[in-house]
Amino acid sequence: MPRYLSIVHIDESTAPAQGPSEELMRRMGELIEEVTKAGVMLETAGLTPAAQGTTVRWQGGNLSVTDGPFTESKEVIGGYAIMQCKDKAEAIEWSKRFVKVHEDYWTVSCEVREIAEA
């Protein structure tokens, strides 16, 4: 059965400075419990703010290492989920449910990609 990576992109300017609300965390916990019981969720996690990240880049034969914050980025990767689904449509459906647990003031999207098997 194929595995899918759902990359969570968030606009940090719309995220509350104090972090997700208790209500959001409750709804998120319920969804994660449901997707885990369905045998779909293999792993998921949120990430620390982009300001705490570092970019390691290889370009034109040169290596650079840059610490955040990355002001040129509007959306950043806020988390991920690895799911094992029967097809891409199922992975997209779970990702839709994930973004819908957020309050209206959040800007969040998921990029769903199948994990290539060797």
pLDDT tens readout for residues 21-77: 999 999 999 999 999 999 999 999 999 888 888 989 898 999 999 887 776 777 889
Closest CA to 115 of 75, 78, 88: 88
- Tokens matching residue 33: 């419990």
Domains of the chain: 3-114 (3.30.70.1060)
User: What pLDDT is recorded for position 109?
Assistant: 94
Annotate 33-94 with DSSP letters as a single string.
HHHHHTT-EEEEEE---GGG-EEEEEETTEEEEEESP-TT-SEEEEEEEEEE-SSHHHHHHH
